[in-house]
């Protein structure tokens, strides 16, 4: 990255002139050594007061320390977006420094909206388009490490979090079983109602072929209920 050089002319206590150079790096002013300038560098009769510039405040820059490798660094992706002290060389976007959605943070680590949005410090996030459908709402992505840390703050320990997960899982299974039993009960009721309606309808006999049982006497038998109809033919 290009560095901008800013020079300030100052007057020495002994009447001489010094040049103080300062360079800027991303809005941070880093002070460099003072360079003395001989009087011969100025033309005769010049007024030093006209060459003075107001002295800008000098900020002493403190390097950041990477929490993974222990080396100093000035800026990184995780520092910019999540205030997480890890340099770009140590960033592991697939595993350790993975980003997760807001839904996953709430479901997997049992966090509420207030835990993400109101509890101090408020967790930082980035916004990205939904990869499944661009017309859906934008996704909020959180740093998984920070979500885990916040979850432990809420639940107190990993053991308590695991117990809460198991309890929620059991409750979900009970709710599923309850819904299943309700559907079975409704189905049985519907079947019984249909059978009852079928039984209350007027039965119409469906007779099979007639049989001659005597000279002029014949009979037919219902194929459904077995009723026998006997009659004579002249």
- Averaged confidence pLDDT in the chain: 77
* pLDDT category of residue 190 using cuts at 50, 70 and 90: confident
CB 98 within 8 A of CB 84: no
* 10-25: average pLDDT: 45
pLDDT higher at 45 or 177: 177
Alpha helical stretches, state H, 61-214: 77-82, 102-108, 113-117, 144-155, 158-200
pLDDT confidence of residue 12: 43
pLDDT digits (tens, 9 = 90+) for 151-164: 999 999 999 999 99
The predicted structure's pLDDT at residue 32: 47
At 183, list the tokens.
């559907």
pLDDT tens by residue, 77-93: 999 999 999 999 999 99
Residue 200, pLDDT score: 62
| pLDDT at residue 127 greater than cutoff 90 | yes
> Does 150 score more than 90 pLDDT?
yes
Phi and psi angles of residue 150, each rounded to the nearest 5 degrees, phi first: -65, -35
Q: Assess whether pLDDT exceeds 60 at residue 9.
A: no
Half-sphere exposure of 118 (CA within 13 A, CB side): 5
* d(C-alpha 34, C-alpha 191), whole Å: 97
* DSSP label of 140: E
pLDDT at residue 43 greater than cutoff 60: no
Higher pLDDT, 23 or 114: 114
In the chain, the domains with their CATH numbers are 4-61 (no CATH), 72-159 (3.90.530.10)
Lowest mean pLDDT among 51-60, 67-76, 179-188: 51-60
CB neighbour burial string for 152-165, b if at least 16 within 10 angstroms, e if fewer: eebbeeeeebeeee
Per-residue pLDDT at 16 exceeds 60? no
pTM equals 0.53
């Amino acid at each position: 990255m290009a560095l901008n050089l800013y020079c300030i002319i100052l007057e020495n206590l002994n009447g001489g002139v010094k040049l103080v150079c300062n360079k800027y790096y991303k809005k941070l002013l880093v002070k460099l050594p003072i360079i003395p300038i001989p009087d011969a560098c100025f033309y005769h009769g010049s007024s030093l007061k006209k060459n003075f510039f107001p002295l800008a405040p000098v900020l002493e820059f403190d390097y950041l320390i990477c929490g993974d490798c222990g080396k100093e660094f000035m800026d990184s992706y995780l520092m910019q977006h999540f205030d997480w002290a890890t340099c770009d060389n140590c960033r592991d976007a697939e595993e350790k420094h993975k980003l997760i959605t807001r839904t996953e943070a709430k479901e997997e680590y049992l966090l509420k909206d207030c835990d993400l949005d109101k509890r101090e410090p408020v967790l930082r996030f980035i916004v990205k388009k939904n990869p499944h459908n661009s017309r859906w709402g934008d996704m909020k992505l959180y740093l998984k490490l920070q979500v885990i840390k916040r979850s432990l703050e809420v639940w107190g320990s990993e053991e308590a979090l695991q117990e809460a997960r198991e309890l929620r899982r059991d409750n979900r299974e009970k709710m599923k079983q309850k819904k299943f039993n309700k559907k079975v009960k409704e189905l049985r009721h519907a079947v019984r109602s249909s059978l009852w309606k079928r039984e209350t309808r007027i039965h119409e006999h469906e007779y099979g072929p007639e049989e001659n049982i005597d000279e002029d006497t014949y009979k037919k038998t219902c194929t459904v209920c077995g009723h026998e109809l006997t009659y004579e033919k002249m």
